[in-house]
């Protein structure tokens, strides 16, 4: 795989959606920006907050689309086109209901699995689904009819939010493999049981 040149965190803009489950991808990128001292500024051309800096010696752009989730490709696509970033050099972080809070998983390529943001990123990249995904567990409400409110209508309970934040603190060695494009090494480390878990 190619080295990662762009990390995009998906979510919905505005205070109404802060701390909702659908915004955990945006939280991941905001935390990275803080961790590595990268300022994110709104760039109207790209409908996103964007910053550029060194992540463990890698020149990487961070972005949080300023679009609604289902229009995420309107931000990611133009950034990749302008900076000539191939889909395989992009990491997209987003919420995943298939996993419980505190679980994060890497995946390369595949379909959108019903996720509107991922679907639009694929569209925005010219139907190239070959990007790397960081799937951040948020749990499932148990009934399909409750999904919309569960993801966007209520804030995450503190216990769940704390689990998510702990999981997003990816160890430096794992993150370095990811940035290098050594996705299998990163997966092996990230997916291994953490100390104190089964």
Please report, for the domain that includes residue 114, its CATH number: 3.40.50.1470
Q: Are strands 90-96 and 132-137 parallel, antiparallel or unpaired?
A: parallel
**Paired tokens of 76:** 């990611």
Q: Is residue 196 part of a domain?
A: no
Q: Is residue 198 part of a domain?
A: no
- Confidence at residue 193, expressed as pLDDT on a 0 to 100 scale: 78
Structural domain that includes position 23: 6-191
- Confidence at residue 1, expressed as pLDDT on a 0 to 100 scale: 81
Q: Is residue 76 part of a domain?
A: yes
- Confidence at residue 184, expressed as pLDDT on a 0 to 100 scale: 94
Q: How much is the pTM?
A: 0.96
DSSP 155: B
Q: Is residue 175 part of a domain?
A: yes
Mean pLDDT by 10 residues, the chain (198 residues): 95 95 97 96 97 96 98 98 97 97 96 96 98 97 94 96 95 94 94 66
Q: Is residue 1 part of a domain?
A: no
Q: Could you give the number of structural domains in the chain?
A: 1
- Confidence at residue 194, expressed as pLDDT on a 0 to 100 scale: 66
- CA nearest 8: which of 85, 68, 91? 91
Instruction: Say how far apart CA 104 and CA 95 lie, in whole Å.
Output: 9
Please list the active-site residues.
Answer: 22
């Amino acid at each position: 795989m190619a080295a990662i040149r762009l990390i995009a965190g998906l979510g919905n803009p505005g205070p109404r959606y802060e701390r909702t489950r659908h915004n955990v991808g945006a939280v991941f990128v905001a935390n990275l920006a803080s961790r590595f001292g990268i300022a994110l500024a709104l760039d109207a051309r790209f409908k996103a907050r964007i910053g550029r800096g060194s992540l463990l010696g890698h020149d990487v752009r961070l972005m949080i689309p300023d679009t609604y989730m289902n229009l995420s490709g309107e931000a990611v696509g133009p950034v990749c086109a302008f900076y000539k970033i191939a889909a395989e050099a992009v990491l997209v972080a987003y919420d995943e209901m298939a996993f419980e809070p505190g679980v994060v998983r890497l995946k390369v390529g595949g379909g959108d699995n019903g996720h509107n943001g991922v679907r639009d990123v694929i569209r925005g990249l010219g139907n190239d689904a070959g990007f790397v995904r960081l799937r951040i567990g948020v749990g499932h409400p148990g009934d399909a009819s409750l999904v919309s409110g569960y993801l966007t209508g209520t804030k995450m309970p503190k216990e769940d939010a704390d689990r998510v934040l702990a999981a997003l603190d990816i160890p430096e060695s794992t993150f370095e493999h990811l940035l290098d494009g050594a996705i299998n090494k990163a997966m092996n480390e990230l997916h291994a049981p953490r100390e104190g878990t089964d």
